[in-house]
Amino acid sequence: MAYENNRPSADQGSSVNAADTVQAEPVTDWVNDWDWLDDSWGANAIDIWNGVREQCPVAMTERYGRAFMPVTMEAVSAIANDTVNFSSEFVSVAQPDAIRRPAPPITSDPPDHHGHRRLLLPSFSPKRIQEMESELREYTRSLIADIRAADSSTADAAAQYSQHIPVHGIAQMIGVPDSDADLFRDWIYRNFQIAPRDNRVREQVTAEMRAYFAELLERRAAQPEDDLATLVTNAEIDGEPVDNELKLGYLLLLLLAGIDTTWSAIGSGLWHLATNPHDLARLAAVVDDPDDMLWLTFSEEVLRYYAPVTMGRKVIGDTEVAGCPIRKGEQVLVTFPAANHDPAAFDQPEEFQIDRAQNRHVAFGLGIHRCLGSNLARLEMKIAFHEWVSAFPTYSIDEASETTWTNGQIRGPRNIPVVLAGDN
C-alpha cells in the first residue's frame, strides 16, 4: 500500500488565535489554586503533583468553580470506583456553565454505561486489534521512509512521527480518511487546550465535529462499510435502536480518545529515549527481537511515568475524599498520572526503570470506565518504539531547540526536536 498522497502535515496549526482566548493569572500556590491550563503545568506536572502530595492528598481551586485535584493512589482510586457520588456526565473540569453533550460510554453512569460499552467492546478485543499489526507497521515504516527522504540530520519526532500513527490507526477503524488528519488535530487542540477556559470555543468545536459525523452517519446508512462508523450507524442496545445524539457522541469520543492520548504516550517515550541514552542503548541492543520483554516493560514504564490522561468527575452527592469534604455540584479531577507517582503505591516512583517488574500503573484508568482502547494504544506504542529505534538507534535530543508540553487533560510533548545520528 502507498501512503505518500494522504500524509497530513501535523504542523500544530490551529484556527484559534491565542490572543482571542481567555487569559488567566499564573499559579503561585498549587495546593489552593491549581490550574491545569497554567503555562508551567505541561513541563512540570510531575513535580507539581509531588509537591502537593508532600503537603496534602487533595489540592483545590476556585478557577473552574470549586474543583479538587487528588494526588494519591488511594484518593484517585476512591473517586474512580465511586459512581454513586461521582458522575461521569462531566469528564473534563471546565467552566461550570459549559454545555456538555453525551459521548458514551465515557460520559455515562450506571446503569446506562454497560450497554454502551458492550456495543463498542468487541471492536477493541485483543484479536481484532492484533489483526491491525502488519498494516500499522507498514504505515509506520512509511513515516520513517519520509524522514529519511527529507535527507536532514534533524527531525521533529512528534510532528513527523508520533502524531501520525494513532490518527492513522483510529481513522482506519472508524472509516474516515487520513487526509482529514489536520482537521482532527485542530479539533483536539481547541477542545483540550482552549475550550476548558472558553465555552465559545467548546461550542464551535463540538458543532464542527457533530456536523462531520452526522454526514458520515448518513453516508453509512446509505452505503454500509466494514468499519466502526457503520457499526454505530446500525447501533442497537437490547434490541432498541440507539438515539442519533448518542451515535454522534460515540464517534466524537472514539476520535478524541483515540488520537492524542496515544501520540502523547508515544511522544513521551521517544522524548525519554532521546534524553536518556542508556535506556536507548538497552533497547537498541534488542531491535532484532520485537518480542523481547524489554519492549513491553519500557512501554509500561512510559505509561506509568508519563501517563498522559487526567479525567474529571462531577460530584453528585456530598462526600469526602482523604478527609477533604467535597460537596454536590463541585468538580474533581481523577488524576491517574499523579497516582502513578505515589510512593505509597510504587517503589521509587521518581526513577524511570525500563525493566520495572511490578508495574500496576493506572494510566488507563480504574473501574467501569477503564480504557476501551488500551489494546490499540499498546500495539501502536510497541510498533512505534520498535520501528523508530530500529531506524535511529543512536538519536538524541537537539539541544538547539526546546520541547514544549501540552497542558490540561492530555499531557505530552508538542514537539520532539532530535538529531538523527547513527546508522541512518
Q: Name the site residues for ligand HEM (rule: CB under 6 A).
A: 80, 88, 91, 105-106, 117, 170, 253-254, 257-258, 261-262, 265, 308-309, 311, 334, 336, 363-365, 369, 371-373, 376-377
Burial degree of 33 (CB within 10 A; 0-12, 13-18, 19+): middle
Residue 271 CB, shortest distance to ligand HEM, in Å, is 15
Residue 73 CB, shortest distance to ligand HEM, in Å, is 14
Instruction: Report the residue number, 261 or 407, with the smaller CB distance to ligand HEM.
Output: 261
Residue 290 CB, shortest distance to ligand HEM, in Å, is 19
CA angle 314/319/322 to nearest 5° reads 100
Instruction: Report the residue number, 158 or 376, with the smaller CB distance to ligand HEM.
Output: 376
Instruction: Report the residue number, 35 or 380, with the smaller CB distance to ligand HEM.
Output: 380
Instruction: Report the residue number, 326 or 371, with the smaller CB distance to ligand HEM.
Output: 371
Instruction: Report the residue number, 362 or 420, with the smaller CB distance to ligand HEM.
Output: 362
Instruction: Report the residue number, 184 or 398, with the smaller CB distance to ligand HEM.
Output: 184
Region class of 398: left (phi > 0), else alpha (psi between -120 and 50), else beta: beta
Residue 148 CB, shortest distance to ligand HEM, in Å, is 27
Instruction: Report the residue number, 194 or 309, with the smaller CB distance to ligand HEM.
Output: 309
Instruction: Write out the three cell numbers for 108.
Output: 455515562
Residue 285 CB, shortest distance to ligand HEM, in Å, is 25
Of 97, 75, 24, which Cα lies nearest the Cα of 323? 75
Residue 118 CB, shortest distance to ligand HEM, in Å, is 10
Residue 117 CB, shortest distance to ligand HEM, in Å, is 4
Which residue shows C-alpha cell 526503570?
A: 353
> Which residue minimizes CB distance to ligand HEM?
373
Report DSSP letters for 29-64, one per residue: -TTTS--TTSTTHHHHHHHHHHHHHHH-SEEEESBT
Q: Is the separation of the CB atoms in 13 and 34 below 8 Å?
A: no
Report DSSP letters for 84-146, one per residue: TTEESS--S---TT------TTTT--TTHHHHHHHHHGGGGSHHHHHTTHHHHHHHHHHHHHH
Q: Note the helical H segments in 223-306.
A: 228-233, 244-258, 260-275, 277-284, 293-305
Kindly calculate the radius of gyration of the chain based on its CA atoms and give it in whole angstroms: 21
